[in-house]
Structure 1
Amino acid sequence: MPRSGLTAALLVPFLIGSILLTGCDRDVDGQVSTADTDATTVDMGWATHGLDDAETRFSPLQDINARNVTQLGLDWYFDYPTARGKEATPLVIDRTIYTTGSWSMVFAHDAITGELLWFHDPKVPREWAVHLCCDVVNRGVAHDDGRLFFGTLDGRLVALDASSGERLWEAQTTDRSRPYSITGAPRIIKGRAIIGNGGSELGVRGYVSAYDLDTGSMAWRFYTVPGNPEQGFENEAMKTAAATWGGGAWWEIGGGGTVWDSMAYDPELDLLYIGVGNGAPWNRQIRSPDGGDNLYLSSVVALNPNDGSYVWHYQTSPGETWDYTATQHMILADLELDGRQRKVLMQAPKNGFFYVLDRATGELLSAEPYAGVTWASHVDMETGRPVENPASRYEGSDSGLQLPGPIGGHNWHPMSYSPDTGLVYIPKQDVPWVYAADEQFEYKPGYWNTGTDSIPASLPDDPEIKQTVLDTVKGAIVAWDPVAAEPRWEVTHAGPWNGGMLSTAGNLLFQGNAEGRIVAYTADTGEDLWSFDAQTGIVAPPVTYRIDGVQYVAVVAGWGGALALVGGEALTAGPIPNRSRLLVFRLGADDTLPDAATPALVIAPPELEATPEQILDGKVQYLAYCVFCHGDGAVSGGATPDLRAMSAETHAQWDAIVRGGQHWQGGMVGFAGVLGAQGSENIRQYLIERAHQALLSPPETAAAP
């Protein structure tokens, strides 16, 4: 059978440098129909994050196609040594496949056999996990001239020798006294590595930077929001932006606007496009109390890649106050609109509208809802601004149940554009939220600072009301026609948080999903043709490549990310285990994964002795410090322990874990700086109460602590 990865017994020696593999011979005897394959046999890799500068994620390969995809089988797999979220786009260059995993680790494999060639651990401090909003993930490497470049969770940009994994240089791209992080993949533009960062929720000022590929020296930096006006402005763009921020001292928290994921490049126009994130804090009433659009939050910004200077921008959510980032995947294409050929940029940001912009000028060409939208009725084509529902700003009262919520109508999971069908494939989701201002907001450096009240946003205790809310939670693939500005077809999923997309010239569309399957659909109609049980949720996008005339499909599997941590009962597919693997498929292959039974969740709490007041305070504290990793209502999404199933030993060590940081090596730092002993105990009592509630209606299986 094909080569597999590391067994649990090899985990410790693997991490300390003894890199070992279990493996067997590769089966090459599978019967494959070749009648429908592409006549050409030119090898083709996957050399850049989105396959091309336009980030289309469309492959011209068609050896695997809609007529023979049922013969697709598992060729080989590799088990990663960590069980946290996996979001990487693999690169395939010179017969080698490069991926990243949890904690910013990098892996190089023989792309045909799966043999592990080398492994690099940048040794991210595990306690840095407290500075992350959305799991210890990494979305991949960039490649240029035999070198790999990737970002680390603690803000470094690292260059490696692609053949050996030897470190060539590293640059600290962030101020380590602030809670910055890097989870996105760099892009290589004109001899420089372009990298952004994350951390808006925790309080930082966003920017994107360019670094020399040979030396690691910074060539330029573009800030996305203004700093302290008393200290002057870096450029005219920042001076212009400052006029759109009203009152307050946003710079003390940072302002936000991090460029944590999407970028694209047009070599003809010589323009670099970056997607800008949410405000810090989310709530504009705190961040900018006199109002204003707060540029360049939630914007697509075009930059000159030679010096990082501003060219144009389009703001998707003026006066952003909902975590409606515009960091989502951007795709460049040439479309005929109203009888005229236009160079366009397409994006489906969190706010629920699909935008088509003229990428030379930033002119809005269309904006229609691709997901459920209640915060605005439409986008005014004259002004380019959304026509908002006044209640959505939660000024004086909460917003009511609003779509989208901060998870977005579409999150980081990449789209794909097929020039054959003319469709953009969007991993859509509807996850509502109730926004309310935090009237007791106090900035806590290094911790979550949304400026919103988590109590109204948490699921109601009343079972009927809760179910009504959960019934609105959905996931789907939307095949969007950007010319007609409307959906062509839709495939419904069991729930949200499904993986990124790959389309091919074989009339195929590939996607992994939260239910734990990778599926092939027809790209023109969405017909389900083939699927494979990956035994874990898949959020990363698949890629495809051809070597020696054989086409492969590869995907990094491993449940994790924002909704996998915080979603809890909103994950209507149920708790999903994390089994982190690289899976590679080809026609005629027939390998299988080992059996993987999920242990039942054992809930045996101590007696509940707390007062209702203690339990309520415990819920408030839990929502402030714990929900982001352990789930709404203490219901785990499966990627982290379900705290309702704590053992007697964990209960006995509770304060040492929560305030003392006893489990820091797993990323669970101590909260003694912001949480008192009584608050810690009240959280424990709240979890005991939640466990007793679970015994009244036993939950599905999930990860136990």
Structure 2
Amino acid sequence: MKTNKSTEILAWRRRAVVALALAALWQPAVFAETGSGARGPADVDGQRIIDADDEPGNWMSTGRTYDEQRYSPLDDIDTDNVDELGLAWQYKLDVDRGVEATPIVVDGVMYTTGAYSIVYAFDAASGELLWKHDPKVDRTKAASFCCGVINRGVAVWKGKVFLGTLDGRMVAIDAASGKEVWSVDTIIDHDRGYGITGAPRIVKNKVIIGNSGAEFGVRGYITAYDTETGDQAWRFFTVPGDPAKPQENEALEMAVKTWHGDAWVEQGGGGTAWDSMAYDPELNLLYVGVGNGSMWNYKARSDAKGDNLFLSSIVAINPDNGEYVWHYQTTPGDAWDYTATQHMILADLEIDGEQRQVIMQAPKNGFFYVLDRKTGKVISAEKYAPVNWAKKVDLETGRPVFTDHAKYWEQDGPVVVQPGFWGGHDWQPMSYNPNTGLVYIPKHYFEVTYEDVRDPEWTPQKGFYQLGTSAAAMSDDAEEMQSWADRWTGGLLAWDPVKQEKVWEVPHKTIFNGGTLSTAGNLVFEGTADGRVVAYRATDGEKLWESPANSGVMAAPVTYTAGGEQYVTFMVGWGGAFSTFAGGQSKNAGVRPYAEVLTFKIGGDEKLAEPNFQPLAKPEPPKQTASTADIEDGKALMNGHCSQCHGMNAASGGVTPDLRRLSAETHKQFAAIVMGARLNNGMPSYAGVLDPEEIDKIHAYIIKRGNDLLDEEYSGN
């Protein structure tokens, strides 16, 4: 297309207007409230994070500080006035799926994420959107990643925002414009189900990220990249490679001796570092939480022999070069998905009259651990949740004393294990308040059955978990499913890490409630799975304030100051592993997905905008023509390929379409949809994965489940 001079001048003027508008938008961010003078956006470095208490109005790293205490020294909001909190601003996010991010707030600007790794920058006082960055994750591949299309947030450093995307990229974004600066692919094998769901951490100009996907047959690792260039600085594998080949370092030469047989090599081993990290600048140690094995079944994975390092471990690494320093394994030979990826906190505690530098964790396995963070030696470990897989932790050896009951690979038939695979505590962050000396844990009461699969099959193209065990709640019976759901409850637990005992607990109606924030105002803030945001008195757990949230809240809140006022922000949105995979069992939460940012302050008078939810559709299944055997085969195929999005036994939690409620027209199109007819809507294609006969069997099972639902909910109509 030809242009003349007047057209070029007009285009230049338009660009100038846009530039001036952007400058105006950033005006609040240019002048930091810290008194340190003018700063550019996201002007954060290591010393500033170390000195975070000197500017408590910011939240500059995912745990606020490198020690990950998630404690704020702010006290303008306290027990006397917290009941005056009102909504200051709200923002509706683009995708109504699970929201798990911890926002970062620096000099009046908030950076956070929603589903599909979309990044948002807001004016922290007004909620005005400054920019949005969509990394264009391929939505047709959602079924290839574990546990929902979620993201737990960003990191900021020297004018850049760093994002790990669901499809495994590390992206550096210009904090002023929201434009990509560089992007690197972190994935070592795209034929496996690698992804990223965790928030990066940054230490000494290195942005550090792990990967998810252990249930999809991957080999875990964590990688550091140069923040300026994206060049890889180091990579530490968290499980060894093929024992027939040289290992990458001496630590893995040690670890490979703890694995047996050869099945785990093809299975990948697992051990992904998908979430938690902490850093001690004085000791110069980076602490990394490592996940479960692939397969879960210890016998199928490693002949029921060996510790299988570094599964379910805390590993201390030198962040300068990625070299191993020490490890502590919470669950040797893990067979129950007892990850040690749960939030870790560094603190200095007086124990037996001695000041100790400790690292604390409440991993899935139900024990609360206090370790010496210089050496990794266990100081104490006690049960914070119901546990029957181990009697205790032997403090001399540091090892759990296993019970025979939980060794399902040695049993005939299913066994009930406590905790189950979502643990006594999952990824939702806990917090530590140095004034009360208590840790505030989003606790689960959660038990499931495990049963040995005698001839488990690992197939790289299979769309779901490679477990080697039949896990809980596989029945189609509505009453049985409800009985499981009623047993899966939660609570906010205040735990004394020195005495290793409960101080107080507030019960919740289900699991998967939000992470916690504690403050110098003697407050603990938490969102709930049943759609509330709440403040409690930190010393005794008395509820002091509550507000509706429109949807389930899983993420941890943050607090900050802007314009001289203290704010509290909750990221809201039901989704993730529990509400998708558990499906019907998650319905006790009583919420539907609705993704938003809610920010409160004293005297806030914004009215909460309520969602316009459509009524649930009545099932319209066609006549059942399949045999009982084909329906049973269809159930196994459905749970193997579809349940990670549509729920176990086709009972959705409402985050994605409930296959029991399909319309008559959708039933007619069922095979075409499975083969890719709705790729543009995010439904992946199973062409080349499922053959026509298998698709027909899955459809037969969906028809059965539609009729089941008609009997359950509409038989009186």
Same fold (TM over 0.5): yes
Q: Which residue, out of 292, 297, 302, partners 1:283?
A: 297
Instruction: Say whether residues 1:167 and 2:180 are aligned partners.
Output: yes
Listed one character per residue, the Cα deviations across residues 11-42 of structure 1 (whole Å, up to 9, x for unaligned) are xxxxxx9xx9xxxxxxxxxxxxxxxxxxx997
Specify which structure has the higher proportion of helix.
Answer: 2
How far apart are 1:369 and its partner, in Å? 1.2
Distance 2:442 2:268 in 1: 31
Counterpart in 2 of 1:394? 408
Cα offsets for 1:142-189 (capped at 9, x unmatched) = 011111111111111111111111211111111233321011111011
Aligned residue for 1:643?
Answer: 659
CA contact (8 A) 2:340 2:363 kept: yes
Structure 2 residue aligned with 1:239: 253
In structure 2, the residue corresponding to 1:471 is in which secondary structure? helix
**Per-residue Cα deviation, 1:658-690 (whole angstroms, up to 9, x for no partner):** 2x1222334321223332222222222222222
Counterpart residue number, 1:60: 73
For the 8 Å contact 1:220–1:307, the answer to whether it is kept is yes
Q: Does 1:49 align with 2:62?
A: yes
Counterpart contact for 1:376–1:388, Cα < 8 Å: yes
Q: Cα distance, 1:84 vs. partner?
A: 1.1
Counterpart in the other structure of 1:201:
215
How far is the alpha carbon of 1:534 from its aligned partner?
Answer: 0.9
SS in 2 for 1:335: strand
Q: Could you say what secondary structure the match of 2:347 adopts?
A: strand
Residue 478 of structure 1 corresponds to: 493
> Bigger CA drift: 546-555 or 395-404?
395-404
Q: Where does structure 1 lack aligned partners over 5 or more consecutive residues?
A: 1-16, 21-39, 701-705
Instruction: Tell me how far 1:449 sits from its aligned partner.
Output: 4.2
CA pair 643-462 structure 1, distance change in 2 beyond 3 A: closer
Partner residue in 2 for 1:610:
626
CA contact (8 A) 2:465 2:640 kept: no
Which residue in 2 is equivalent to 1:601? 616
Residue of 594, 597, 620 corresponding to 1:579: 594
Which runs of 4 or more aligned residues in structure 1 lie more than 3 Å from their structure 2 counterparts after TM superposition?
A: 40-43, 459-471
Do 2:464 and 2:642's aligned partners in 1 also have CA atoms closer than 8 Å?
no
Q: Give the deviation of 1:204 after TM superposition.
A: 1.0
Amino acid at match of 2:524: L
Query: What is the CA–CA distance in structure 2 between the aligned matches of 1:592 and 1:41, rounded to whole Å?
Result: 34
Q: Displacement of 1:482 after TM fit?
A: 0.2
Contact 2:457-2:468 within 8 A present in 1 as well? no
Asked if structure 1 preserves the Cα contact closer than 8 Å seen for 2:365 and 2:423, the reply is yes
What residue identity is the alignment partner of 1:583? L
8 Å CA contact retained: 1:603, 1:691: no
Relative to structure 1, the CA distance from residue 349 to residue 685 in structure 2 (aligned partners, 3 Å threshold; closer, same or farther) is: same
- 1:615/1:682 contact within 8 Å kept: yes
- The answer as to 2:101 corresponding to 1:88 is yes
Contact 1:391–1:399, Cα closer than 8 Å, also in 2: no
Please state how far the C-alpha of 1:632 moved relative to its aligned partner: 2.6
For residues 189-227 of structure 1, what are the alpha-carbon distances to aligned partners after superposition, in whole Å with 9 as ceiling and x for unaligned? 111101111111111111111111111101111111110
Listed as ranges, the matches of 1:184-195 within 5 Å are 184-195=198-209
- In the alignment, is residue 181 of structure 1 matched against residue 195 of structure 2? yes
In structure 2, C-alpha distance between the alignment counterparts of 1:554 and 1:466, rounded to whole Å: 35
**SS in structure 1 at match of 2:671:** helix
| Percent identical residues | 52
How far apart, in 2, do the equivalents of 1:182 and 1:463 lie? 34
Distance in 2 between residues matched to 1:341 and 1:317, nearest whole Å: 27
**1:631 has 2:647 as partner:** yes
For residues 619-648 of structure 1, what are the alpha-carbon distances to aligned partners after superposition, in whole Å with 9 as ceiling and x for unaligned?
111221122221233222121111111011
The counterpart of 2:282, out of the listed 265, 268, 279, is 268
The farther-off stretch of 59-68 and 372-381 is 372-381
* Corresponding residue number in structure 1 for 2:319: 305
Distance, in Å, in 2 between the alignment partners of 1:90 and 1:669 is 30
For 1:542-581, list aligned pairs within 5 A: 542-571=557-586, 573-581=588-596
In 1, Cα distance between equivalents of 2:469 and 2:249: 36
Provide the residue aligned with 1:435 in structure 2: 450
Q: In structure 1, which of residues 196, 199, 215 is the aligned counterpart of residue 229 of structure 2?
A: 215
Which segment drifts farther, 90-99 or 630-639?
630-639
Q: CA deviation at 1:556?
A: 1.1
1:361 aligns with 2:375: yes
1:260·1:277 contact (CA, 8 Å) conserved in 2?
Answer: yes
Secondary structure of 1:390's counterpart equals coil
Counterpart for residue 39 of structure 2: none
Aligned match of 1:102 = 115
What root-mean-square deviation, in Å, do the aligned CA atoms of Structure 1 and Structure 2 show?
Answer: 2.0
Query: Is the 8 Å Cα contact of residues 50 and 57 (structure 1) preserved in structure 2?
Result: yes
**Which residue number corresponds to residue 15 of structure 2?**
none
On the 8 A contact 1:200/1:280 being kept in 2, the answer is yes
Q: Distance in 1 between matches of 2:230 and 2:98?
A: 28
Residue in 1 that maps onto 2:464: 448
Query: Cα offset for 1:461?
Result: 4.5
**1:415 is the counterpart of 2:403:** no
TM-score w.r.t. the length of structure 2 is 0.89
How big is each residue's C-alpha offset from its partner over 1:444-476, in whole Å with a ceiling of 9 and x where there is no partner? Answer: 21433423343x622435566545433321111
CA 1:477 to 1:640, structure 2 compared with 1: closer, same or farther past 3 Å?
same
2:91 equivalent in structure 1: 78
Q: Secondary structure at the match of 1:437?
A: coil
Name the amino acid aligned to 1:149.
F
The equivalent of 2:147 in structure 1 is: 134
C-alpha distance in structure 1 between counterparts of 2:100 and 2:481, whole Å: 30
CA shift for structure 1 position 341:
0.8
Q: Distance in 2 between matches of 1:465 and 1:90?
A: 39
Distance across 1 between alignment mates of 2:155 and 2:402: 39
What secondary structure does 2:215 align onto?
A: helix
CA distance in 2: counterparts of 1:492 and 1:421, whole angstroms: 20
Q: Distance in 1 between matches of 2:228 and 2:286?
A: 21
CA contact 1:568–1:575 (8 Å) conserved in 2 = no
Given that 2:105 and 2:124 are in contact with CA atoms closer than 8 Å, whether structure 1 keeps it comes out as: yes
Deviations 1:307-342 (Å, cap 9, x if unpaired)? 111111000110011111100000000111111111
Q: Which runs of 5+ in 2 are unaligned?
A: 1-17, 22-52
The alignment partner of 1:231 has SS state of coil
Task: State the alpha-carbon separation in 1 of the partners of residues 316 and 89 from structure 2.
Answer: 41
Report the CA distance shift for 1:226/1:526 in structure 2 as closer, same or farther (over 3 A). Answer: same
Q: Alignment partner of 1:520: what SS?
A: strand
